[in-house]
Structure 1
Amino acid sequence: MCVDRRDVGLLMLRLGTGAVLMSHGTQKLFGWFGGGGVEGTAQFMESIQYKPGTVSALASGVAETGGGALLAMGLATPAAGAAAAGGMAGAAAVHAPNGFFNTSGGLELPAVMGLITTSLAVMGPGRLSLDHVIGHTLNRDWMVPAALGVVSAAAAVVVGARQRRLAAAQAEESAGDSGDGE
């Protein structure tokens, strides 16, 4: 097997990105690294209008932990990258009202992670990967648009439902403020 610097670079990118995703995902699933575990994450998800909270916590945690682990190994790269990108789309929607930069709670980190995971799904894992070892049976060209299309549609539905709940809550709050007699 001839390994070139592109393969080494993809391995480094997959390992680093996968480690970041896995650490965030295990916070949600297991409470590791100061996270809330499923229960605490579910409460948070409910508070930001991702409902039901437990399902949202599990979906987010699995997308990050599972997607990150698969990306790090270079296994099922189109599905892994798409799943992680979908999770980052949901996170970016939460952070978007705070602007771009992370210093103000903005969407910088989830946007960059989403771009990286989508790029890995499109580029593939390189030769230093389990996909390469097993003959790319889980990394076919047709899988890239299929995985990204399915995840994009699901993310649009989930984020759209959240946006509608936020708008309804804001309208209800505004109606309550105008009807309090002041």
Structure 2
Amino acid sequence: MTCLNRKDLGLLALRAAVGGVLVAHGTQKLFGWFGGGGLEGTAQAMEHMGFVPGRESALAAGLGEAGGGALLIAGLATPAAGAIVAGTMAGAISVHAPGGFFATGGGFEYPAFLGACGVALAVSGSGRYSLDHFTGHLLDRSWVGLLAFGASALGAASVVTRRQEVVRRREAQAADQADLQAGAGTS
């Protein structure tokens, strides 16, 4: 077995592992598989986390995970797949960032790792054992990656910024309500 084959097998294994995890999480969100909440349950959770509208946010997150993961597994349009995964994980990181880095404390370690894997696969390519290779790398081009990462970054920035605004507004409303209740209690 040559070094090239080892590298290609390693890329296949990494694509299958990362893509499999993402497909599982995405189908939890979309269909309720593997103990997930399905689209309605995920929509409620997304709304609670500050992603509004909740249903559209749940659909986008589920499709980003399941679709990006499936593309990674297949090794198809790998630069775009990696960008989709990275952008989707940026939204997840925004939720977990207040918990610090480590997942044991509710931190962002896990989505950051999945996002970094997406970026690494987008940059490295899918390897010989992929649909990209089979199609002559038709969708595995530098311009595809640049365009996909640009769109993903803009989308993620927009979603995260909107979520932060919603969360800040909710916190301000809760503080105002607490002040009103405190004021009512002293009268």
Q: TM-score range by the shorter chain?
A: over 0.9
Aligned to 2:37: 36
Match of 1:155 in 2: 156
Residue 107 (structure 1) shift: 0.4
How many angstroms does 1:117 deviate by?
0.4
Aligned residues: CA RMSD: 1.1
Q: How far apart, CA to CA, are the structure 2 residues paired with 1:141 and 1:4?
A: 23
Where 1:147 maps in the other structure, the secondary structure is: helix
Q: Which stretches in structure 2 are left out of the alignment for 5+ residues?
A: none
Query: Which has the larger Rg?
Result: 2
Correspondences of 1:1-182 after superposition (within 5 Å): 3-180=4-181, 181=183, 182=186
| SS of residue in 2 equivalent to 1:139 | coil
Deviations 1:119-174 (A, max 9, x none): 11111101110000001111111111111111011000000000011111111111
Higher helix share: 2
- SS in structure 2 at match of 1:103: helix
Q: CA deviation at 1:179?
A: 2.4
In the TM superposition, structure 1's runs of 4+ consecutive aligned residues that sit over 3 Å from their partners are none
Q: TM-score, normalised by structure 1?
A: 0.96
Letter in 2 for 1:85: A
Aligned length: 181
CA displacement, residues 2-54 of structure 1 (integer Å, 9 cap, x when unaligned): 85211111111000000000000000011000000000000000101101111
